[in-house]
Amino acid sequence: MGIYDFTVKTNKGEEKSLADYKGKVLLIVNTASKCGFTPQFKELQDLYMEYKDKGLEILGFPCNQFAGQEPGTNSEVQEFCRLNYGVTFQIFEKGDVRGETAQPLFKYLTQEKKFEGFDKSHPIAAKLTEALQANFPEYLEGDGIKWNFTKFLIDREGNVIKRFEPTTNPSDIKADIEALL
């Protein structure tokens, strides 16, 4: 099983095969519009604009599993991203990204790239860890997605190359993206 074997749903409920992205570098991100990391949408859009013509695709997957930070409908999420951050990359249907109800794509991604910890130099890292320990200690166990804006970088052959936690800003992974383009 590989990345191109997965089918996901667009925000309009249409089936989309990830095989349609063969030959592209992908950055797959679980997103939320009411999160402390939501401003990462701007950096994601900046990356997309800078590298889309060189073969980068960013795929956003809204999720409401983390403290209810994505309460909107699929169309509300799309409109929020477009109006507030000028997002033009693909935003898919809202769904779960961790646990038993996780979308198969995210089960695969977390099996391929394990959790290696948060970037402790990020200003929110300590607060995020404290909040998880206090409110969602089970999220810290295993390799599941820990919070919104976890990012997975996929090469042109569909290999999961790297996992970036929410505490890694999108602008900080430019060199990793450039190396694959």
> Which one of the listed residues 35, 59, 63, 160 is annotated catalytic?
35
Q: How confident is the model over 127-133, as a mean pLDDT?
A: 92
Q: Is residue 1 over pLDDT 80?
A: no
Q: Are strands 151-154 and 160-164 parallel, antiparallel or unpaired?
A: antiparallel
Q: Is residue 175 over pLDDT 90?
A: yes
3-state secondary structure of 123: coil
The edge-to-edge listing of strands for the beta sheet with 25-31 is 90-91, 56-62, 25-31, 151-154, 160-164
How many Å separate Cα 84 from the centre of its chain? 18
Residue 81: active-site member = no
Q: Which residue in this structure is represented by tokens 């249907």?
A: 93
Band (36; pLDDT cuts 50, 70, 90):
confident
- What are the structural domain ranges in the chain? 1-9+22-28+41-54+71-94
**Mean of the per-residue pLDDT values of the chain:** 94
Q: How confident is the model over 76-89, as a mean pLDDT?
A: 92
**What percent of the chain is helix, strand and coil (3-state, nearest 5)?**
40, 20, 45
13-24: pLDDT as tens digits? 899 999 999 999
β-bridge partners, 106:
none
Which pTM was predicted?
0.95
